[in-house]
Structure formats: structure tokens, C-alpha cells
């Protein structure tokens, strides 16, 4: 089963929490007022900036873009992306809901005002105050005020919101309304990252779900009631099983806001729903939608062919990015005794022949993840520096000796290596952990066989999971395969009911809070928590805290290097793959700015900053 949060939901849709306080006098004079806040150093763009460099302020408005969405049950039953039950329509958060601040896409970590036009950050990073832009309006014309910020926060973090929001905001101690346009957040700890968390709160009106008779639909019961929010688009048409059409709000308030200049240029944004990948690919070849970002290399190399590609109507392009690479791969359940020895986990790494799969299935397009911060300055390399050793030494007796040596090189079967050498090494490690192959079956001292249940998120994983299962069998393991549908998978993972499955951590520009949710000890046995692996390590807890407490980029990098060494040498995740480019297919009429951003999701970038170069083009299948 594949465990991941959808990066397309953008930073504000991760999770959240708060308590509300009024009537408190706050010491505001010492706060630092600014149009933007950088995690370290100064923001790239000055207070009087007009637009981001990667935006085209002269981009024409009009035309349309059509996206594809795969939905196995082909439907949605609500326009509320923030409640737990039900399935929301695609595109709601991206098109309709806005936050107090937004990230720039060409700085590693800087927030600029959106609904907020001023940010006052406490010098010790214990609090932040936002002033709401007086021009900000909801889709019904009402102004956005501090009252709506309070309502949104309270709603998302009470029992009617998805519990993930409460978790995301769990380090916010209180929210105080100062006046009609000003809100103040206090934090439970002093952290440079927490103003970004507060700024990512999505705002909506209390009138969402309000009935004509004055009664209100409970938030967790809001279904197809149209959201009252401040985003650039409105729902024009929605048919469950077919798709959703959004139309740009002609009265959108944010056209003059610098962080919105040159963005959301399409008059219509259309999401079409397809039941599976093959149906979607056929629809693309038939001209039914305009953009796709592909990460399945067997499709990229061989399926996108035909007249529209030959004539240049559909363009295939590799577009570079500098996104932080999220750790992803296979995990085992540390709550089960047979997986508690790190030598067993390392042996399972040797059982995965990445080079074979990359060559035979992925056309050698992928690189292997070798760090929890791969492709960034936070990744550990070589042997520990003196500064790294100063952090690690107090924990030497609690850590594998390998942490203090060279950074781990992942198993490799390229010559002079081979799969035979890898499996031999795996058997050696298993033997050291007390598991020996007897008559073709791996057994412990009690004679018990090594049974491993491999959970598939879907049958689409079969091509690259079968070689892994085969190598496990060669080691003498008894492999049991289990394919789970999405609902069953969620239920099983919330109960930690698995042996061996896949995981993908979220990409994060500020990785400390994300890693804390994934690895902190106190959540290891809390059903439904994000510590699905079951890590219980005081050392990991302490090192993540150092990451959170870093006061400079240099301190951040040293703490990250130390943490990286511990996590990698503990073999919590069997690392998988990443791409350094977006594999994009798009209609030739779509145009984009000349300047590329650095840190971006492909579809989000296209939606926000591209435009229709032929807005009067006859789209025969636009609705």
C-alpha cells in the first residue's frame, strides 16, 4: 500500500491545531514588521516588488486548460476538502481557497503576504501577527477579516475537521483577534518554521453551509454546498464521475496583489475524471485534455505516440526543477519482533535490485534516493565533520558504529557488483541476526520460518514488486502477497497492520516538522499517527529538535547531516527513486514565462503561471 500525502494539495492542506483567546494585551512593539519572512537571511523580493521573477505580469487572461484525474470509483460527493468523510471534487484547494501567506517558488523558504499584507514576527520566533489586506474579499463580496480567520481555524481544528489539520497546527498555543483586521498567533515553542505553519491556514467564510432559513449545515456534513472562499475561481459545472469546470471570478480581489501578479490566467480550468491510467492515456492521444506530468517511464517511453505528437500539437518536454527530494521506498513494521534488528532491514535492502528495475522497467530515468535530504545541501556526505561529531558523540553508545564512519552507499548490482553478491551479503546479515537458510527456508533458532507479508497499494505495483518478492524467496523467506483497495489500505495503516509496504514522505522545504510527525517516539503507538514505521528513538527525537531549533542555515545543515546519518544507518526505509526533471506533455497552444521557478510541482506551476496562447481556439470538447 502506498502511503503518502498528495503534494498537489499545497503546503496549507497538510494538517492543523489551535485554541482561541480574546481580550489579551500583547507586547507588539518589539515585533519585526515585514511584507515577507525568510527562514534565514532576507527575502529576495523587496517590499515594493511588483511580481515574482517567474511570473509574467503581462500574461493574457482567457482560454482554458484541461487536466486529467484518475479516480477508480469515478466520483466525488462533496465540495469540502477539509472534512474527513467523503471524496472531494478535484481542484478545490488550488482554485478556491487562499491562505494568509504563500511561498515564493525561487527561494528555499520565504513566505510573502497574500490575504495578509503585513507580517510581524516576534524576535524570538515565539509568535507572529498578521494584518489582513483590507481589499481581500470572499466570492460573495464580503470582506475577509480576523473573524473569518478565527472561524476557519476553530472549524478546522475541532471535531468537525479532518484530524490531520489539528495535528498540523498542534504547535500553535493560541490565536488572538487584536482588531477587525489583525490576528496574533502564539506558539508552544520558539521556532523559525512556525510562522510558515500559521501562514498556511486556509480561510473560508462562516456563510459556507448557511441555509436560507438561517440554520447551518454542520461543517463535517457540508457536501455539495458551494464554498464561500477568496480564491480566483468559482465552480461553474460539476458532474460526479465526469469532472469539474472552474471559471475565473470576474470580481477576484487579488489581481493587484504582488504575489498574485501574472497568475491564474486561464478563464476556465477543467478537470476530467478517468477510471484508470490506460483510459487516461488514450484520452490524451485523442485530444481530450491539455496537460500531463508523467512519472511512469514505461508510459513515457512508449505510450505517448500518434498523430498529435507527430504533428507537434502535443509536446513532450523534460523541465528541470530543484525540489527537495522526499524520502520514499519500502518500510517494515518495527512493532514486529522480526524487523527490530537493523541487520534484517539492511538485508531487505540488499534484496532489492534497483539497477535491474531501473533499467528494465524505468528506462534508466530514475536516480536512487541516498539521503533523507537528497539533492540538497542538507544531505550528509563522506565522513562526519568535527561539527557533526560534536552533535553525535553524546549518543555514541545508542547508535550504530557505522554512523561515525562514511555515509552509507546503497547496494548496487552494476558490475563489478551483481545480484548474487547482494543476496550473499543479505544472507550474511540475516545470519548475524539469527536467521539461517535451512532446506530452502529461512528460520530462527526456534525453527520458526521467516514469513513476510508484502502489501501492494494496487496491481500497478506488480512489475517492480515482483523482482523484490522473487529475491526474498531466494533468501528463503516465505512471501505472502496482499493487494488492498484504497479504503482497506487506509484502515490497515491507521492500525499499523502490515509487514512490508511502500511509503513516500512529503516534500518539505522546512523538513523538521515533517520529520517530527513521521518519526517522533510518542506517536509510535498512537493509532492513526504518521509514525507508521514505529520508530522509537530518543536520539532521533533529539536530532529532529536540533533541526527545528537551528538559528542559521549553517546550523540547519550541520544538524541535518547528523540526523541524516542516524536515519540512513538505522535502515528505517529501504530507499527508492527520484527524478530531477518534470516529464511534461502539453498542448502546443499553452505558453509559459521564460524564467523557470526552482521549487515547484508541475501541475501547480502550469495552473498558476501558464496561459492560453490561443484563447479563442475552438475547444470542441471543453465541457
pTM of the complete model beyond 0.75: yes
State whether 243 and 157 are in the same domain.
Answer: yes
Q: Where are the beta strands (DSSP E) in 83-140?
A: 98-99, 101-103, 110-113, 116-121, 127-132
Question: Is the predicted pLDDT of residue 277 greater than 60, yes or no?
Answer: yes
Which residue shows C-alpha cell 505510450?
A: 303
Within a domain: 492? yes
Residue 167 C-alpha cell reads as: 495535528
Q: Are 477 and 394 found together in one domain?
A: yes
Residues 335 and 480 in one domain: yes
Q: Are residues 416 and 542 in the same domain?
A: yes
User: Do 385 and 236 sit in the same domain of this protein?
Assistant: no
Rounded to the nearest 10 degrees, the angle between the axes of helix 511-519 and helix 553-570 is 30
Taking the C-alpha atoms of residue 588 and residue 595, their distance in angstroms, rounded to an integer, is 18
Look at residue 460 in the predicted model and tell me its pLDDT.
58
Instruction: Note whether 272 and 334 are same-domain residues.
Output: no
* 437 located within any domain: yes
DSSP 113-125: ESSEEEEEE-TTS
Same-domain pairing of 396 and 487: yes
Asked whether residue 523 is domain-assigned, the answer is yes
Q: Is 617 part of a structural domain of the chain? A: no
Domain boundary, last residue among 220, 253, 282: 282
CA distance 622 to 288: 8
Write down the pLDDT at residue 491.
80
Distance from C-alpha of 560 to C-alpha of 539, rounded to nearest angstrom: 13
pLDDT in tens, 467-516: 899 999 999 999 999 887 766 777 888 889 999 998 888 877 778 888 99
The grid coordinates of residue 295 equal: 512519472
Pair (112, 193) in one structural domain: yes
State the CATH number of the domain containing residue 133. 3.40.190.10
Q: b/e per residue, 386-415, with b = 16+ CB within 10 A?
A: eebeebbeebeeebeebbbeebbeebebee
- Which residues, in sequence order, are CB contacts of 379 under 8 Å at separation 6+? 370, 371, 372, 373, 560, 561, 564
Nearest to 489 by CA among 498, 481, 480: 498
Q: What is 373-395 written as a DSSP string?
A: TTTSTTS--SSPPHHHHHHHGGG
- Please tell me the distance from the alpha carbon of residue 476 to that of residue 480, in angstroms, as a whole number: 13
Which of 265, 282, 299 is the last residue in one of the domains? Answer: 282
Distance, in Å, from the CA atom of 37 to the CA atom of 22, rounded to the nearest integer, reads: 26
Q: Tell me: the pLDDT tens digits for 335-369?
A: 999 999 999 999 999 999 988 888 888 777 888 99
- C-alpha 309/C-alpha 524 separation (Å) is 50
Q: Which three cell numbers stand for residue 524?
A: 509510535
How far CA 453 is from CA of 60, 328, 449, 616, in Å, comes to 54, 19, 13, 55
Q: What is the pLDDT of residue 616?
A: 80
Residues 258 and 357 in one domain: no
Decide if 552 is inside a domain.
yes
| In the predicted structure, residue 574 carries a pLDDT above the cut 90 | yes
**Res 486: pLDDT:** 67
Residue 74's pLDDT is what? 65
- Per the structure, the complete domain to which residue 132 belongs is given by 12-22+59-282
Give the per-residue pLDDT at 505.
86
Q: What is the largest CA-CA distance in the chain?
A: 76
CATH number of the domain where residue 356 is located = 3.10.105.10
Q: Is residue 606 part of a domain?
A: no
User: Are 344 and 215 within one domain?
Assistant: no
CA pair distance 179, 23, nearest whole angstrom:
10
Q: What is the pLDDT of residues 20-50, one digit of tens each?
A: 222 333 333 445 678 999 999 999 999 999 9
How many domains does the chain contain in total?
2
Amino acid at each position: 500500500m502506498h502511503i503518502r500525502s498528495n503534494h498537489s494539495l499545497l503546503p496549507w492542506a497538510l494538517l492543523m491545531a489551535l485554541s482561541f483567546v480574546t481580550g489579551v494585551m500583547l507586547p507588539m512593539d518589539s515585533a519585526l514588521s515585514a511584507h515577507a519572512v525568510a527562514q534565514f537571511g532576507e527575502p529576495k523580493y523587496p517590499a515594493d516588488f511588483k511580481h515574482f521573477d517567474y511570473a509574467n505580469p503581462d500574461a493574457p487572461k482567457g482560454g482554458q486548460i484541461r487536466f486529467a484525474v484518475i479516480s477508480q470509483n469515478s466520483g466525488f460527493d462533496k465540495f469540502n476538502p477539509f472534512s474527513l468523510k467523503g471524496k472531494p471534487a478535484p481542484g478545490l484547494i488550488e482554485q478556491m481557497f487562499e491562505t494568509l501567506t504563500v511561498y515564493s517558488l525561487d527561494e528555499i523558504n520565504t513566505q510573502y503576504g497574500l490575504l495578509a499584507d503585513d507580517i510581524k514576527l516576534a524576535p524570538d520566533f515565539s509568535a507572529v501577527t498578521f494584518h489582513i489586506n483590507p481589499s481581500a474579499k470572499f466570492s460573495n463580496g464580503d470582506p475577509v477579516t480576523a473573524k473569518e480567520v478565527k472561524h476557519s481555524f476553530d472549524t478546522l481544528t475541532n471535531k468537525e475537521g479532518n484530524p490531520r489539520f489539528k495535528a498540523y497546527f498542534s504547535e500553535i498555543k493560541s490565536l488572538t483577534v487584536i482588531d477587525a483586521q489583525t490576528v496574533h498567533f502564539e506558539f508552544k515553542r520558539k521556532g523559525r518554521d512556525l510562522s510558515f505553519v500559521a501562514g498556511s491556514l486556509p480561510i473560508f467564510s462562516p456563510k459556507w453551509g448557511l441555509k436560507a432559513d438561517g440554520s447551518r449545515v454542520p461543517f463535517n456534513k457540508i457536501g455539495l454546498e458551494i464554498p464561500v472562499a477568496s480564491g480566483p475561481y468559482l465552480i461553474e459545472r460539476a458532474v460526479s464521475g465526469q469532472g469539474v469546470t472552474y471559471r475565473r471570478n470576474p470580481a477576484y480581489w487579488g489581481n493587484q496583489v504582488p504575489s498574485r501578479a501574472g497568475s491564474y490566467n486561464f478563464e476556465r480550468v477543467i478537470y476530467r475524471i478517468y477510471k484508470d491510467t490506460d483510459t487516461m492515456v488514450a484520452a490524451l492521444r485523442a485530444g481530450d485534455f491539455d496537460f500531463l506530468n508523467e512519472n511512469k517511464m514505461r508510459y513515457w517511453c512508449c505510450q505517448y505516440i500518434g498523430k498529435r505528437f507527430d504533428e507537434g500539437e502535443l509536446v513532450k518536454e523534460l523541465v528541470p526543477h530543484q525540489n527537495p527530494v522526499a524520502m520514499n521506498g519500502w518500510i517494515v513494521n518495527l512493532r514486529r519482533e522480526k524487523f527490530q534488528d537493523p541487520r534484517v532491514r539492511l538485508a531487505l535492502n540488499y534484496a532489492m535490485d534497483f539497477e535491474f528495475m531501473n533499467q528494465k522497467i524505468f528506462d534508466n530515468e530514475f536516480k536512487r534516493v541516498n539521503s533523507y535530504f537528497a539533492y540538497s545541501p542538507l544531505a550528509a556526505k563522506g565522513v562526519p565533520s568535527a561539527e557533526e561529531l560534536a552533535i553525535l558523540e553524546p549518543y555514541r553508545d545508542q547508535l550504530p558504529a557505522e554512523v561515525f564512519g562514511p555515509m552509507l552507499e546503497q547496494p548496487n548490482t552494476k558490475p563489478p557488483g551483481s545480484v548474487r553478491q547482494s543476496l550473499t551479503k543479505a544472507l550474511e546479515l540475516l545470519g548475524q541476526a539469527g536467521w539461517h537458510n535451512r532446506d530452502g527456508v529461512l528460520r530462527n533458532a526456534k525453527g520458526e520460518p521467516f514469513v513476510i507479508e508484502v502489501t501492494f497499494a494496487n496491481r500497478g505495483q506488480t512489475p517492480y514488486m515482483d523482482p523484490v518478492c522473487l529475491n526474498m524467496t531466494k533468501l528463503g523467506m516465505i512471501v505472502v502477497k496482499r493487494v488492498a483497495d484504497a479504503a482497506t489500505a487506509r484502515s490497515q495503516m491507521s492500525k499499523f497492520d502490515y509487514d512490508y509496504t511502500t511509503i513516500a514522505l512529503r516534500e518539505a522545504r522546512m523538513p523538521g516538522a515533517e520529520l517530527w510527525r513521521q518519526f517522533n517516539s510518542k506517536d509510535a503507538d498512537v493509532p492513526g499517527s504518521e509514525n507508521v514505521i514505529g520508530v522509537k528513538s530518543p536520539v532521533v527525537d533529539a536530532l529532529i529538535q536540533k533541526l527545528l531549533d537551528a538559528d542559521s542555515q549553517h546550523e540547519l545543515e550541520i544538524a541535518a547531516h547528523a540526523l541524516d546519518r542516524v536515519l540512513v544507518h538505522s535502515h528505517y526505509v529501504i530507499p527508492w527513486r527520484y527524478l530531477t526533471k518534470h516529464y511534461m506533455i502539453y498542448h502546443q497552444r499553452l505558453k509559459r514565462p521564460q524564467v523557470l521557478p526552482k521549487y515547484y510541482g508541475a501541475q501547480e506551476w502550469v495552473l498558476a503561471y501558464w496561459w492560453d496562447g490561443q484563447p479563442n481556439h475552438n475547444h470542441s470538447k471543453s465541457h
